[in-house]
Amino acid sequence: MIKDRQGHIVKELEGQNKLLKKLYSTSAGRCALKILVSPFVTHLGGLYMSSPFSKTSISSFIKNNDIDMSQYEEKKYKSYNDFFTRRIKDGQRPFDDSKDVLMAPADSKLTYYPINDDTILEIKDTKYQLKDLLQDETLAKEYDGGICLVFRLAVDDYHRYSYVDDGQIVSHKKIKGIFHTVNPIANDYYPIYKMNSREYTVIDSNNFGRMIQMEVGAMMVGKIVNYKHSIATKGEEKGYFEFGGSTVVLILKKDTVKIDDDIINNSSENIETRVLLGQTIGHKGV
């Protein structure tokens, strides 16, 4: 379930979710996924989505997802990916200049996790411990007692994301995705081992301590495009996702931020909170 900041239930289109559930929950679907996520097929899919031939899908996508195009820059799109990475008009997602306010990095559905030894993060249908998500146990330990915020972007969301505070960029790491199935002898069940491709930036932020901002890509065509920055500037675009639902993750240390109560309460009931880029989600300190 998803709720907006006023507590109203937000309806999400189920077509993509039903397809993914079918692919992951049936042996035939998992066999199809094995082909779909192969480098060759992924490359071909990316080429098609960036080609003029893909433009024919744009109008039906806008209609089926009821997208308000008035908030986006007016232009003629060269491909589906050109449309998917469309820019919003100036002023549509303003950031608050207040130093003690934490803002959402993207239009998304937000889930809050307190970080402890038992924390299991669910990101794009894969469960991670923080050390596995970061592939760095030492770094993960620095965030014991802190919080993790998972911003899930659906295909109809705005797919550009921003920095949430000013600061110095310390490091950047890329992690390749993994997908394979195992077919036990005399067993028609295919277990899945899957870790999505992801990139994360460690930032010494001015107001929220040393934070981590991560982008997680889709298994198939989805691609992360991050700009090369030496400093982070609050509200500045950090990068964008090409076609595919994707996720942004913020990891913050203990006592650096207090997340708004509605988000915490929703998450405790397995409800995602609908947030917009630049919307206030918490405040500095405890």
219-236 core/surface letters (b: 16 or more CB in 10 A; e: else): bbbbbbebeebeebebbe
Distance, in Å, from the CA atom of 80 to the CA atom of 58, rounded to the nearest integer, reads 6
The alpha-helical segments, DSSP class H, found in the chain are 15-25, 27-36, 39-49, 58-64, 80-84, 130-134, 137-141, 261-268
Distance, in Å, from the CA atom of 273 to the CA atom of 265, rounded to the nearest integer, reads 10
Burial class, 112, CB count within 10 angstroms (exposed 0-12 / middle 13-18 / buried 19+) = buried
Catalytic (active site) residue 107: yes
Let me know the angle formed at the C-alpha of 16 by 12 and 18, rounded to the nearest 5 degrees.
95
Residue 257, amino acid = V
Catalytic (active site) residue 171: no
Q: Helix axis angle, 27-36 relative to 15-25, nearest 10°? A: 100
Q: How many residues does the chain have?
A: 286
**Dihedral Cα 22, 25, 28, 32, nearest 10 deg:** 70
Select which of 50, 246, 260, 267 is catalytic. 246
Select which of 54, 79, 107, 108 is catalytic. 107
Known catalytic residues are 107, 246
